[in-house]
Each structure stands twice: as structure tokens, then as C-alpha cells.
Amino acid sequence: MNPATQISFAPFQGITGKVFRSIWTKQFSGVDEFYTPYFTSINHDSRLSPAKLAELKRISENNIKIVPQILSKDADEIIRFASILKNLGFDELNWNLGCPFPQVATKKRGSGMLPYPDMIDDILQQVLPSIDIRFSVKCRLGYHSPDEFNELISVFNRSNISQLIIHPRIGRQLYKGKADTDAFAAILPQLNMPVVYNGDINTPGDFEQLQQSFPALNSWMIGRGLLANPFLAAQIKGFDLPSDRPKHIRSFVEDLYIAYRKHMNDQLSAIGYMKEYWHYLSQSFDNPHKVLKKIIKTRSFDEYESAVADIFNEFEWQL
């Protein structure tokens, strides 16, 4: 592994908020930055709602840098958010041009803006001279076709973005198929800013293969792989791992659950957050389907707690 390797935790709406970040960073290593799930609706009065402010309470979590993200097609809103973030002490804002979900993309937001390079150009030209924190972009290859990226290359190259995180799928694909590493290889040499690769790094082997294909890259973003296996970044970096990994995972899951209950004032929606997360974590047990089923059918705190106890008694953590 390249000693300069940087690993970012990808944003997941509904999962990687501040509660998750505060517990994760206490128990795992190998991640250098966390990107927040996207923010929207930054109102005109330049004051964030208490809920948004609470999400942005820390600029780093246990020494891991936090990078807020915005989903917007309004330059003024982006500028407003950057100014608020600057006052809160953040040094970077990330712009989401990757969200593939139709309810977002059909409104020319997220990856739905990628077929409109003039619109992206216009927003970048307005935003970059007007903010004084770094501005990075997270995008896909296009919405309808990877060919859309051809026009975006010059748009991104003439802007002053601090880095470009590329998830090499198109929006319409959602998460189907594979990340298109051939298309990524073709565009990489044409870009003049630091580039971060994101997509389908689920094992140390996946990472090694990509590192061999792109030896000049040293910055990577990992999402589902890290949700399923919180040790993945440390494994990639060759860090020491706890000897009893199932016990470590169990203690993480329990701490996360307690933190969500506290955050949600003991409302049952705390289990909803845990269920979202178990969709990914279950993948690392020997029978993901059964593990997830046990969690999904719980309807009370008691049921949830006994499902977790059963899972750690009956199923093997495989990594």
C-alpha cells in the first residue's frame, strides 16, 4: 500500500450522521475524512435550523476531519452554506452531483445535473470566487450516458475545485452493474485537479486491484464496503486489528444503539436507524439474509435487543 493512502468514508443519507460518526470514530481506524450526508434547504436568513446545526456541531470527530456536503442547484444557496460553514470552522464544502435517486435527479439535482454542463459551469463560476473555503465535487460519470463526462472535463478543469470524487457509474444505473473502471481510466489523465476514486471497494483485494490499475491515485472513498466491514480501512492500511473482532463489532453495535436511543429521546425510531445500518452490516455475517430478517421484524426495544443477542450467538462474523 502507498503510505500516502487517504481513505474517506462516503456519505450515506440516514446512516452516517453525527451519531454514527461519533461512535464509529471511537472504535475503528484507517479513515481520514468523513463526508456528511447531503444538506438541502439552506434558508435565506443565513441561520441553520437547530437540527442542522447539531449535525454540524463538530468540524472533526476524534481527529477525523468532517466535510459537509450540499445538494443544490442554486449558487446563492451554496454560497450561503459555505459562509455558514466557514463561521463554524469548516474548511471545505462538497457539492453533490452524484445522487441518482429519481425524485432528486428529475429535478436536475445530483446526477440529474450532469447532462447540463452549462448549468454546472455557471454555478461553479458564481460559487468559487464568492467563497473562502475549499470547494470539492462528488459526481458520477453522467446521468443517461458516460459520454456526458466529455463535456464536463473542461468545465471542471477550468474551475478551481479542490478535488473531484468520481463514482464511475451513471445516475440511471442507480447501484446496478459494476463501477466502470475503464471509463474512469480514460478520463483520469484528462483531469487537472486531485481525483478521488469511489465505488465497489468492498475488500482489501478490491482496493489492491484498483491501486495497481491507478498507481498515481492515493485518495479513495469507500461507502458500502466500510458499512459492511468497519475494519476495511484499517485492513487496507495494514493496521493492527482487534483479535476478537466479533466482540468488537458487538460492542460497536450496542454503543451505536444506545447513542441513537439517547439522540431520539428513546423513541422507537432509534431502531429504524439501526435497521438501516443492519442492511449493510448483515453482509459480513455468514447468513446475511437471516441476520437481516431477524432485525427487520423487530418492533420494540426488547425484541431488537434479543435479536442482536441471537445474531451474535447463532451467526459467524466472517471478517
In whole angstroms, what is the distance from residue 113 CA to residue 181 CA? 22
Interatomic CA distance for residues 262 and 127, integer angstroms: 38
68 or 115: CB nearest ligand FMN: 68
In terms of phi and psi (left: phi > 0; alpha: psi -120 to 50; beta: otherwise), the region of 195 is: beta
Instruction: Supply the minimum distance, in Å, between the C-beta of residue 164 and ligand FMN.
Output: 13
The single residue listed with the C-alpha cell 483531469 is 191
Nearest to 23 by CA among 255, 231, 288, 282: 255
- Residues 33 to 92 in contact with ligand FMN, rule: CB under 6 A: 37-38, 69
Alpha-carbon torsion angle 236, 242, 247, 253, nearest 10:
-50
Question: Residue 138 or residue 261: which is nearer to ligand FMN going by CB?
Answer: 138
Q: Rounded CA gap, 194 and 296, in Å?
A: 41
What is the x/- site pattern for ligand FMN, positions 210-239, by CB under 6 A? ------------xxxx--------------
Q: Distance between CA 157 and CA 13 in Å, rounded?
A: 29
- Taking the C-alpha atoms of residue 138 and residue 234, their distance in angstroms, rounded to an integer, is 24
Q: What's the DSSP call for residue 46?
A: S
Closest CB to ligand FMN among 32 and 305?
32
Residue of 5, 7, 10, 183 that binds ligand FMN (CB under 6 A): 10
Contact string 138-177 vs ligand FMN (x = CB under 6 A): x----------------------------x----------
Rounded to the nearest whole angstrom, what is the least distance from the CB of residue 297 to ligand FMN in the complex? 21
Q: How many residues of this chain bind ligand FMN (CB under 6 A)? A: 19
> Would you say 11 or 171 has its CB closer to ligand FMN?
11
Q: Give yes or no for residue 199 binding ligand FMN (CB under 6 A).
A: yes
- Which of 201, 292, 295, 307 contacts ligand FMN by CB under 6 A? 201
Only one of the segments 122-130, 142-150, 192-200, 310-318 lies at the binding site for ligand FMN (rule: CB under 6 A); that segment is 192-200
Options 123-131, 153-161, 196-204, 310-318: segment touching ligand FMN (CB under 6 A): 196-204
Rounded CA separation 282/311 (Å): 10
Judged by DSSP in three states, 151 sits in helix
Q: Hey, what amino acid is at 165?
A: I
Stretch that binds ligand FMN, among 44-52, 188-196, 197-205, 303-311 (CB under 6 A): 197-205
Shortest CB 151 distance to ligand FMN, Å: 21
Q: Using CB atoms, what's the residue nearest to ligand FMN?
A: 223
Name the H helices within 128-244: 148-158, 181-187, 204-213, 224-228, 232-237
Stretch (H or E) spanning 172? none
Comparison of 13 and 250: residue with beta carbon closer to ligand FMN: 13
Residues near ligand FMN (CB under 6 A) are 10-13, 37-38, 69, 96, 98, 138, 167, 198-201, 222-225
